[in-house]
Structure 1
Amino acid sequence: MTDTPAATFSWDGLGTYKQEGRFLEGYPPDERTFFAPRDNLHGLLVALLGTAQHSIVVNMFGYDDDELNAIIQEKLADEKIYVQMSLDRSQAAGVHEKEILQRWQNDAFGNSIAIGTSSVHSAISHLKVVIVDGVYTVKGSTNWSLSGEQQQDNELSLSRNAVIAAETRAILDLNHDFMLKQMAGTKLNVVPLMAPTTPDQMPPLPPAPRSATHSRTTTPAAPATVPPTGGEADG
């Protein structure tokens, strides 16, 4: 395994993180794919996270990489950068994960951290996704751990397509909202927010506005009076 290069990120220079030093001809212009343990996934993630200027949005199953966490912490301390993290409850309960969690600043301005499960039957939140600055989207099978990045057989895809980033962000925001409500406690009814379990069901919808609810409960207006047959009507 090659050493992690200096944390510089350039789309045209991403071949440096490939074992061969380049990509095959004909690669889609907005997509790049990497494989562990063959390629330098850790170095790529270090470089990408370090470039964040506006936002980092993470939904991660395994979170156990001290160097990536240090970069996230630096961004958490920067009030100009929004950081949103959604972590799986079972993974965040690990000893090393707990140590990492204790160093976070969830109550600081621009930070939102949630720990929970999937919205279906409390299943694990198994995504390994990060979106940087609303443009770069990382997906794949790679957990944020040195074993996941450097030892296991894993795939990591990087996109710079803003449409893909927007679609993915909507999913991550729904997951994050559900986890926040889980953390708030059992007083909140999360059942209406759970994802559908059959193909013909609609996605979870937001509750009706208070004004709409009020209008449905008010007494309906009396029907207009109809003049009796043969009576005089207004001209």
Structure 2
Amino acid sequence: MHIAAALLFCACAAAASAGAAELGARLAKADSARGEKVFRKCVACHTVEKGGRKKIGPNLWNIVGAPVGAREGFRYSSAMLAFGGSWTPERLDAYLAKPRGFVKGGSMSFVGLKREQDRADVIVFLSGMGDSPADFGKTLEASAGLPPPEPEDYGVMVAAPGASETFDACTSCHSERIVAQQGLTRDQWDELLNLMVEEQEMEPIEGDARATILDYLGAHYGPGRPNFPQN
């Protein structure tokens, strides 16, 4: 029994070490500018600048390495408070992949970032949004080997002007498939955005961003189209 337990411990330790090494390699290749772009999915619920206000979620300045659930003035779920510890890169990577799967009972509705390199890029971006950014062992060789940006992936949504802004705004809370199933006029989409703010506490989308999103939705998800694209 003791031998089996020791072997299991060694196997778990080896897996953890391999996982840390794999994340370290991704972080060494990560690009903050790409991370900032991916982070657009998060801006409906979070600010990241120093002194930024809380929204549905807390401000994320200095979040890398910070204690979990400790932002003053923000009301965290009991699950997040019980989680404890600090936001290490490893924890952030796992949390960004599947928030509710990593913190059981947590309240964040974001579905997660499937692409491993997207998560690494966001972590490096967030590290830069703090008083002491980490370099994560970056080297010239790692930078030279940086892969080209992957093409934008909008899931089942139509790839057209405004798709990026719409996809980022909508998938911060739900699947893009919910959008693709609708058939509303531009005015009806406008009313729906207002309703989401009033009833779901969504952060308001205003100005040019709102106009771009409404133009896109009205053009591609109006009443004159099939409710769901056939792939």
Q: Same fold (TM over 0.5)?
A: no
TM-score normalized by the length of structure 2: 0.25
Structure in which a larger fraction of residues adopt strand: 1
TM-score normalized by the length of structure 1: 0.25
Structure in which a larger fraction of residues adopt helix: 2
Choose 1 or 2 for highest CA Rg: 1
